[in-house]
Copies of this chain bind each other. A is one copy, B any other.
C-alpha cells in the first residue's frame, strides 16, 4: 500500500491542532451554556424534500444509498444536511409537544456540501449554531440576546480580529419603500453585489430593476454607512428618507449595537454596517455577518439573523433568531498556515519516568495517584536513559517529567521547559492551573 493522499475538501487535524480546536469549542460551549442555551444533536441525514425546500443548494446535497440495497425505494430520499438550521427546524416541529418555548439551543456538528473545495469552503465542515425559537411570537429582545451571546463567545476566541457587522432588513426595506421603491427584495439582491462588483455596475443593475438615478444613488449612500456606535441613526436620517418600517429597523439595529458594546475588545468589534443584507430570503429583521481580519476572502465566518418563520407545520409558526459560527471556515485556514496550534499534542501534564524495565508497576502506581487528583499523566514507553525519556516527553509537549525516588518521599519532578527540578510528593504536588490542559497557541498574538 502506498502513501495515502488526503481527500480534498475533508480537512482533518493533527492532534495538537485538534487540541486547539477542542479548547476553542469548549470556550464557545461555556459561553452558550452560561446563557442557558442547551445542546442538542440532530442526525446527519434529512429527507431530501426537506433539504431541497429552500431551493438554493440542490446541487450540493450528498444523497445516501446503501451499497447493496435490495429495496432501492426504502433508502431513496435521504441526504446529509448542509447546515444545522434545516435539521433544527425539523427537530422543533417533530418535538414541539415536548419542548419548552422559548427554546434556546446550541448545536456543534458537522455539515456536508458537495461543492468544489476552496480555501474556507469544505465538503465536510463543523459549525457552531445558537438559536432561540418560540411558538407564534418571539419578542425582539431575543435578537439583542443572541447578538450578545455570540459577541461574548467570539470576543473570547484567540483568533485574528473579528468584526461582526449587523444590519436590519426592516431598516433597508423601510428605507427603500420610503424612496418609493416597490420591489425592495430585488433591489436588496442587487445592492448585495457591492462586494463583488464595481459601484457603477451596481447602479446600472439598479436601473435595470426600475430605479431612477436618484433612487439608486440613495441606495448606495445607505449601503456606505458603517459605524461602531449609534451614530448610523443620524447618518440615515441625514439622507432625508421617511417610513414607519425604517423607524422600526433603526430602533432595532440601535438596540443590537448598544447591547453588544460591552464585548468589544482588541480582537473583536461590533458595527452597524448598512451594506449587509444576507442573500437568503428568509431573514426578516436583524442580520449578521462577520469578517476575520486578513482573511476577508473567506467571506463571512459567522452569520445569521431573524427569521419570522423558522419552521411551520401549517397551523403553528415558530419564529427564530440565530447565529452560526463557521468553525472549520475560520480555523482550518489558520491551521493550514501554521497560525494556530496547541501547546502540546497530548492531554498529559506529567510523564512518569521508568527507573528500569522491571519498575513499570511502581511508575504506573505513581501515575495513578496523580490521576486520582485530576492530573493527566502518562508513563514513559520504555526504560531508556533519562535523557531520551525527557526527549520523549518534549516531543509531545508534556511540561513535567516525574522521577521516582527510592520511595515516595524522594520523588522529584522536573519542569522540562525551565529545567527546574524539585522534590515532589505524588499525593500533594500540583501543576500550575495554566499547565493543566493544552493551551491554544495563536502565533499571531499571545496565547489564549
A positions within 8 Å CB-CB of B:
1-7, 10-15, 18-19, 22, 33-45, 47-48, 58-69, 75, 78-80, 90-91, 93-95, 98-100, 102, 104-105, 110, 112, 114, 124, 141, 312-314, 345-348, 360, 371, 374-378, 381, 392, 395-396
Contact = CB atoms under 8 A, between A and B. Distances in A.
B100 A44 contact: no
B10 A43 contact: yes
B65 A62 contact: yes
Nearest to A347: B33
A67 B58 contact: yes
B360 A141 contact: yes
Given A44-B110, A381-B102, A67 B59 contact: yes
A378 B104 contact: yes
Contacts of A39: 15, 18-19, 22
Contacts of A104: 346, 378
A98 B1 contact: no
Nearest to A103: B15
Contact of A62 (B10, B66, B395): B66
A62 B58 contact: no
Contact of A44 (B3, B35, B44): B44
A38 B6 contact: no
Contacts of A58: 67-68
A307 B348 CA distance: 25
B347 A36 contact: yes
Given A62-B67, A63-B66, A4 B346 contact: no
Given A34-B374, A62-B64, 4 more contacts: A12-B91, A34-B375, A58-B67, A65-B65
